[in-house]
């Protein structure tokens, strides 16, 4: 009994050591690319590692059975059950488990990765137990840096062709104002995934939008926000139409309300400050 417990404890220590090492090494790359960090990646690997091994084993058996001309309905049912359980577990994913690394934390992440490499080859600190403790301490330092973000004023205009999305952070409140960037003809999913989310992470260090201001509604807006909410938590959506429209947006507003509480404000006409510049009612708030 003690031998089995010793083997399992040794396996778990090696598993934790490898995962923590990979997590610390990947931090500079995630920070530079503007990708969010999952704080439960170790737990996820612990759960999905056996699932992946079992999936490969069953799918290989099914493949060779068909290759040899044998019918294997039982193996197919096992594979379907495994995939169903896998998809069910994936549905528990949430932006609450994610955190962003602002671009000013890049040097901290590089320093932590360098310390992890240096201590790995040390005679005393390089042992699995001691080195795992050091890696946990480095992850804790980065986590504290994520929670103690800069509260200074941040404003950034992200352009999608000629239209833009305005990102503003003031007093730890993050506001995202769409000025046509989410409704451009370019694929809204690609724009959100490869431009908006990385910029949001790097410039603000946050994956929580306190207020999302929309001036136009369309099917592209729904596609963009559905992609956005996979990574970013949206607390409130405010719709401020700039002109009266005969189009019925009831269905679109219902879909938006399933993502976050929606507030519809009166029509506010466009006011031009200068040629090509648009002033909105929220511009005075920042």
Structural domain boundaries in the chain? 2-147, 154-281
**Coil vs helix vs strand at 122:** coil
Phi, psi for residue 195 in degrees, rounded to 5: -125, -55
How would residue 275 be classed by pLDDT, with cut points 50, 70 and 90? very low
Lowest mean pLDDT, pick from 6-10, 191-195, 241-245: 241-245
Rounded to whole angstroms, the Cα distance separating 171 from 78 reads 53
Model confidence at 171, pLDDT cuts 50, 70, 90, reads confident
Percentages of the chain per state (helix, strand, coil), in multiples of 5: 55, 15, 30
CATH architecture observed for domain 154-281:
2-Layer Sandwich (3.30)
CA–CA dist 201, 188 (Å, integer): 18
Lowest mean pLDDT among 60-64, 76-80, 91-95, 177-181: 91-95
Distance in angstroms (rounded) separating the CA atoms of residues 200 and 198: 5
Residue 163 and residue 191 in contact, taking contact as beta carbons nearer than 8 Å: no
Residue with the bigger pLDDT between 146 and 200: it is 200
Q: Is the pLDDT of residue 149 over 70?
A: no
Question: Is the entire prediction scored with pTM above 0.85?
Answer: no
Going by pLDDT thresholds of 50, 70 and 90, the confidence category of residue 278 is very low
By the 8 A CB rule, do 238 and 263 touch? yes
Rg of the chain over all Cα atoms, to the nearest angstrom: 24
pLDDT score, position 69? 79
Residue 269: is its pLDDT beyond 80?
A: no
Under the banding of pLDDT at 50, 70 and 90, the label for residue 1 is low
Cβ–Cβ < 8 Å for 36, 121:
no
DSSP assignment letter at 267: P
In angstroms, rounded to a whole number, what is the distance separating the alpha carbons of residues 255 and 260?
9
Residue 8 pLDDT = 86
Total Cβ atoms within 10 A of residue 181: 25
pLDDT for residue 284: 46
Answer left, alpha or beta for residue 276, where phi above 0 means left and psi between -120 and 50 means alpha.
left
As a whole number, mean pLDDT of residues 76-88 equals 87
Please report the DSSP string for 220-242 in residue order.
HHHHHHHHHTTTSEE--EEE--S
Separation CA 180–CA 116 (nearest Å): 44
Task: Tell me what the mean pLDDT of segment 154-179 comes to.
Answer: 86
44-48, 114-118, 227-231, 282-286, range with the lowest pLDDT: 282-286
Q: By three-state DSSP, how is residue 185 classified?
A: coil
Exposed, middle or buried, 140 (CB in 10 Å: 0-12/13-18/19+)?
exposed
């Amino acid at each position: 009994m003690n031998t089995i417990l010793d083997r399992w404890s040794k396996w778990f220590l090696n598993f934790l050591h490898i995962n923590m090492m990979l997590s610390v090494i990947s931090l500079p790359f995630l920070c530079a690319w503007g990708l969010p960090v999952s704080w439960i990646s170790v737990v996820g690997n612990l759960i999905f590692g056996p699932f992946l091994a079992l999936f490969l084993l069953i799918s290989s058996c099914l493949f060779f059975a068909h290759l040899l001309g044998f019918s294997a309905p039982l193996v197919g049912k096992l594979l379907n059950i495994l995939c169903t359980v896998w998809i069910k577990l994936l549905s528990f994913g949430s932006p609450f488990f994610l955190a962003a690394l602002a671009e000013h934390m890049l040097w901290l992440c590089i320093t932590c990765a360098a310390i992890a490499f240096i201590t790995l080859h040390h005679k005393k600190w390089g042992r699995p137990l001691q080195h795992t403790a050091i890696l946990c301490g480095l992850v804790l330092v980065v986590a504290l840096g994520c929670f103690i973000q800069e509260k200074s004023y941040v404003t950034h205009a992200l352009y999608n062709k000629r239209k833009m999305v305005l990102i503003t952070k003031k007093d730890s409140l993050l506001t995202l104002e769409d000025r046509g960037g989410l409704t451009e003809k370019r694929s809204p999913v690609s724009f959100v995934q490869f431009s908006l989310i990385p910029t949001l992470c790097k410039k603000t260090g946050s994956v929580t939008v306190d207020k999302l201001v929309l001036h136009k509604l369309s099917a592209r807006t729904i596609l963009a926000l559905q992609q956005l909410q996979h990574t970013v938590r949206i607390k409130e959506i405010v719709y401020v139409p700039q002109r009266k429209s005969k189009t019925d947006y009831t269905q679109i507003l219902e879909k938006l309300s399933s993502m976050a509480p929606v507030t519809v404000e009166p029509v506010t006409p466009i006011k031009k400050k200068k040629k090509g510049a648009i002033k909105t009612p929220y511009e005075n708030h920042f």
